[in-house]
Amino acid sequence: MRLWVGFGGLLLVMNAFAAEGQPTIDWLKTVVFAGHQTDYSGVFIYQYDSHVETSRITHVVESDSEYERLESLDGPKREIIRHHGQVWCYINHKMVQVDSQQGGSRFPSLLPGQLSALSGNYLVKEAGLERVAGYNTQVIIFQPKDSLRYTHKIWAHTDTGLLLKTAVLGDKNQVVEQYTFTQLKIGGDVDRAWIASSKGTGVSSKPTGAVSRNNPDVSKAGTPINSGWVVDALPAGFKKTMEVHRPMRGKHAPVTQLVFSDGLSAISVFIEPSDADEDDVEGLSSRGAVNLYRKVVDGHLLTVLGEVPSRTVMQVLDSVRYNGKP
């Protein structure tokens, strides 16, 4: 990138921040849409504890919408292609279409389209300028207004707004998990040859299970319902975004799922009959910023999964109750 372009981006972003160090809504909107409207390719790493995953991502915007290709660079071959709301995964040596509703937010497109909810749940402030993967970035912190959610820290490219690094921070400001580009090319001659090949005969339209951070082993999108199950102790600002009855891989009967979000984080509640098999293991587990808590209550196995601290998933599960059919 030419130096004057980078310097111009710095001037733009500095003018986009108020005197008290709060980013304007217009700049945050730029960050929200940059991941969808920018051509880029690069390598990023995902880290939590001592675990590290490396992936290559290519994103291009064409006349018929955006295309994204994600390839794992560690372990077995894994590949995901997204286009116009559809998602294909490399499964058993072929590309198979999966349930696009289970994709959820993903790096580098992590901020929600609706920003209004964020100010009610987080203090949003700028935290200086830093360089990531050779690009100038503006650091922005989303500080929660309670102890029931994590602090989120992002590094946005000062020219395009593209997220180049994100981190989830715990109570003591320790990194719980983070994504960061180590190599990146923005704009210019980004490889498009794979787009034509992705439309070939190797792509199947047969739906299969998609796994996302808040929907483990989900097999189908499910049927919207009003189940009668309620949660009494959600953190302030979490609103229900989905309530469905769906089959899940490895389960003998359909499972009820409720999903709640505060704009940055999501919490899923799963309710199913307890059959006392080996899957009904109670307790707490975690993977990066995602915590999972299981408990058998009155003949039902309750599972709460969310990008929130362990205390939060425990509080949520202990407040789940059946309120009867409406």
pLDDT given for residue 276 in this prediction:
72
Residue with the larger pLDDT of the pair 103 and 180:
180
Residue with the larger pLDDT of the pair 17 and 256:
256
3-204 CATH choice from 1.10.10.10, 1.20.1260.10, 1.10.287.70, 2.50.20.10: 2.50.20.10
Q: How far apart are CA 173 and CA 227, in angstroms?
A: 39
pLDDT given for residue 278 in this prediction:
65
**Residues 182, 186, 188, 194, CA torsion sign:** positive
Domain residue spans of the chain: 3-204, 213-322
Residue with the larger pLDDT of the pair 192 and 164:
164
pLDDT given for residue 191 in this prediction:
81
- Is-contact 88 199, C-beta < 8 A? no
pLDDT greater than 50 at residue 215: no
pLDDT greater than 70 at residue 300: yes
Beta bridge pairs of residue 151: 169
pLDDT greater than 90 at residue 317: yes
Of the candidate ranges 6-20, 53-67, 102-116, 170-184, the one whose mean pLDDT is the lowest: 6-20
Query: What integer best gives the mean pLDDT of the chain?
Result: 83
pLDDT grade, residue 161 (50/70/90)?
A: very high
pLDDT greater than 80 at residue 54: yes
- Is-contact 168 178, C-beta < 8 A? yes
Give per-residue pLDDT as tens, 128-143: 999 999 999 999 999 9
pLDDT greater than 60 at residue 5: no
pLDDT greater than 80 at residue 84: no
Looking at CATH, the fold of the domain delimited by 213-322 is given as: Phosphorylase Kinase; domain 1 (3.30.200)
pLDDT given for residue 269 in this prediction:
97
